[in-house]
Amino acid sequence: MRKLILAIFFFGSFIVAGFAQEFQIACTNGYFNNNTFCCGYTKANQANVGVIKFPNFVPPDNVGIVYSWYAVHPDGPKFWDTPVPGRVVPLPWSGEYKVYVLIHFIDKTTRQRVTSYRSNTITVKALACEGNKDGSQH
């Protein structure tokens, strides 16, 4: 019954306020132009991605939030669970990375998922920059 009440609360909050599609992420750095980097294994080869639009509501005290980050690349996907709305995404391979996050609301008592929402997907490009051993553009 408690889970049902929580689900109704969240569903009602999102429907009434129109927040169902308002989870958005964006890349907050990029060298050549927005969302473009050199591939590699240093700090210069990492995209800083974060939630930039989050519904304006406060979940009940007994509900926690888990962010499941995904970076999908043809050479292999990567994923991380974090308790924070931001993530550094390493870019070891050249090509395009499709990055998105699933935001899970978890009942702290039962540890069961109450509801989940998916963010938009952004594309982060990693280029094979010649002549730069550290992967930087300069």
Domain at 24-127, CATH homologous superfamily = Immunoglobulins (2.60.40.10)
**Hey, which bits of 42-133 come out as E strands?**
46-53, 63-72, 78-82, 86-90, 95-107, 113-118, 122-127
Burial of 13 (0-12, 13-18, 19+ CB in 10 A): middle
Tens-place pLDDT, residues 106-123: 999 999 998 888 999 999
What's the rounded Cα separation, in Å, for the pair 22 and 28?
A: 18
> Which is it for strands 86-90 and 122-127: parallel, antiparallel or unpaired?
unpaired
Pick from 47, 62, 34, 59: nearest CA to 117: 59
pLDDT in tens, 58-79: 788 899 999 999 999 999 999 9
Domain regions of the chain by residue span: 24-127
Q: Look at residue 21 and tell me whether its pLDDT is greater than 80.
A: no
pLDDT above 70 for 105: yes
If phi over 0 gives left and psi between -120 and 50 gives alpha, with beta otherwise, what is residue 134? Answer: alpha
Report the alpha-carbon distance of residue 105 to residue 7 in Å, rounded: 10
- pTM attached to this predicted model: 0.77
